[in-house]
Amino acid sequence: MELISYSLDFASFLIQSLDNLESISSIILFGSVAREEADKDSDIDIFIDIVKIDKKLTKKIEGIKSKFFDSVKFKKYWKLMGVDNEINIIVDELDNWKLKDSMIGNSIILYQKYSSTISGGDKKALLSWGSIKPESRRVTLNKKLFGYKHYKKHYPGLLNKFNGSKMSTNTIMIPVEQLNLFIKEFRKLKIPVKILRITTHD
What separation, in Å, do the N-terminal and C-terminal C-alpha atoms of the chain show? Answer: 38
Minimum mean pLDDT among 62-71, 118-127, 178-187: which range?
A: 118-127
From CA 108, how far away is CA 105, in angstroms rounded?
8
Which tens digits make up the pLDDT trace of 9-33?
898 899 889 888 888 988 888 888 8
From CA 57, how far away is CA 51, in angstroms rounded?
11
Task: Parse the chain into domains and list their residue ranges.
Answer: 1-112, 122-200
The yes-or-no verdict on residue 112 having pLDDT over 80 is no
Tell me the whole-structure pTM to 2 decimals: 0.58
Q: Is 163 helix (H, G, I), strand (E, B) or coil?
A: coil
| CB-CB contact of 192 with 8 (8 Å) | yes
pLDDT for the residue 117: 42
Q: Which helix (H) or strand (E) holds 110?
A: strand 108-112
Which pLDDT band holds residue 202 (cuts at 50, 70, 90)?
very low
User: What average pLDDT does the segment 86-93 reach?
Assistant: 94
Fold designation for 1-112: Beta Polymerase; domain 2 (3.30.460)
DSSP annotation of 101: G
| CB-CB contact of 29 with 88 (8 Å) | no
Is the model more confident about 164 or about 122?
164
| CB-CB contact of 18 with 64 (8 Å) | yes
Task: Return the half-sphere exposure (C-beta side, CA atoms, 13 A cut-off) of residue 84.
Answer: 10
CATH for 122-200 (3.30.70.240, 3.30.230.70, 1.10.600.10, 3.30.360.10): 3.30.70.240
| CB-CB contact of 179 with 195 (8 Å) | yes
